[in-house]
Structure 1
Amino acid sequence: MQPAHIRPYDDADAASWLRCRLLSFFATQYYDDVVTQRPRFDGPSIQLVAAAGTEVVGILDVSIGADAATIETVAVLPEHSRSGIATRLLHAALPELEQRKLRTLDAWTREDPAANAWYRRNGFREDHRYLHVYQDWDERDAGFTAPDGLGTPVRVFAHAPIEREAQLRARFRRVHVCRRYVRRLG
């Protein structure tokens, strides 16, 4: 396996970036968070890749606000996971975030043990949680309605307060706890 080096994203990376994101998300609870083109950032951002030759094997995209930043995507190809690439990407982004005098870097994730452990190992602390609730096509008696003229919803994705977790897990097959992690900067 060729060693990966960290560098800024380039438009020539688009297809490889998509492949990396798709394959890395398959093994997580975000397996259906599929994009068909790389998201564009309207404001300031840090867009890094870990490249092994011409192949993107890791991604870190961070959107930057007035006093805080958010990790929009952090992903590593499964065959390169647990090799330190995500941490190297994070460490490559931190100097620019601190130079901008930002106070915090945050990220949102679900219940994947590896992802949660990575955030904690890298100085992030959980500060908020809520639920992602899905109603699938065969859960038709879920109580969701559609506007006049449309049929019964086939699939629904909704947010709910964490206090309703037990009730919603009893009613729906797919319920995830979504956590916000925050790392202080500076």
Structure 2
Amino acid sequence: MEIRNYQASDERGWVRCRVLSFLDTAYYDDVHREKEKFENPSIELVAEKDNQIVGLIDIEYDTEDEKVCSEEGTGGMIWHLAVHPDYQNEGIGSQLMERASEEAIKLNLEFLEAWTRDAGNSAAWFEKNAYRQVDEYYHLYLSDQDMAHTVQPGDDNLQPLYMFAQYTGDNIEQFESIERKYKCMCYIRNL
């Protein structure tokens, strides 16, 4: 396996790896047809094995003019960390993280920040890799039935059928009947 910088010619393999790696997670519907472009500088690495992209990590980092991370100091936001399902549990994610951390240290970044959901094993993976939880809120996916009970009526010409929402309040219990409800947690690792 080779870990190297992302190249434009990797885009199709990158998208395929990301989609397949998210398929059995709480992010299964966060599908993109092309790789995101970042406004700030970034560390973009891929793991290649058997002539295909089997892992990826994208970290956009703070500059003097533009902050990406929520914490004080100069950090890097991990937007994507994914390993193709056929290659998981081989240490590829850890190797990508190690290489990205080395690059971040060279850039004088003070920390890496990642947001993930409580479903699946990603939170445990970050904790195992020296990240500490510093914040949380909820992601809610409301169906039309959910919204009939929780969303106040407004414009009769607008009839939402589905809603994705962030909830930062203290009364998450009011949404106990919502099937797709995830705690979204922020993890920080000092470099």
The TM-score with structure 2 as length reference comes to 0.88
The TM-score with structure 1 as length reference comes to 0.90
Preserved contact between residue 146 and residue 153 of structure 1 (Cα < 8 Å): no
* Partner of residue 176 from structure 2, selected from 164, 169, 176: 169
Q: How far apart, in 2, do the equivalents of 1:43 and 1:69 lie?
A: 10
* Letter matched to residue 144 of structure 1: V
Note the 1:1-186 alignment, pairs <5 A: 4-66=1-63, 67-144=74-151, 148=155, 150-161=157-168, 163-170=170-177, 172-185=178-191
Q: How far apart, in 2, do the equivalents of 1:147 and 1:153 lie?
A: 11
Q: How far apart, in 2, do the equivalents of 1:17 and 1:47 lie?
A: 11
Q: How far apart, in 2, do the equivalents of 1:45 and 1:142 lie?
A: 42
Q: How far apart, in 2, do the equivalents of 1:60 and 1:168 lie?
A: 33
Distance 1:163 1:149, change over 3 A: closer
Q: How far apart, in 2, do the equivalents of 1:137 and 1:82 lie?
A: 38
How far the C-alpha of 1:139 sits from its partner, in A, is 3.2
How far the C-alpha of 1:37 sits from its partner, in A, is 0.8
How far the C-alpha of 1:150 sits from its partner, in A, is 3.5
**Percent identical across equivalent pairs?**
33
Q: How far apart, in 2, do the equivalents of 1:60 and 1:155 lie?
A: 30
Let me know the Cα RMSD of the aligned residues: 1.7
Q: Deviations over 1:130-164 (max 9, x none)?
A: 00011124435134368747431011111112622
Q: How far apart, in 2, do the equivalents of 1:146 and 1:81 lie?
A: 46
Equivalent residue, structure 1, for 2:70: none
Distance 1:176 1:13, change over 3 A: same
Deviates more, 1:106-115 or 1:22-31: 106-115
Distance 1:140 1:114, change over 3 A: closer
Preserved contact between residue 51 and residue 58 of structure 1 (Cα < 8 Å): yes
Q: Deviations over 1:76-105 (max 9, x none)?
A: 011111110000001111122112221110
Q: How far apart, in 2, do the equivalents of 1:68 and 1:76 lie?
A: 23
Equivalent residue, structure 1, for 2:71: none
Deviates more, 1:96-105 or 1:138-147: 138-147
Q: Deviations over 1:14-55 (max 9, x none)?
A: 111110000000111000111111100121100000011431
Structure 1 residue ranges without an equivalent (≥5)? none
Aligned residues: 181
Q: How far apart, in 1, do the equivalents of 2:153 and 2:105 lie?
A: 46
Structure 2 residue ranges without an equivalent (≥5)? 64-73
Distance 1:137 1:47, change over 3 A: same
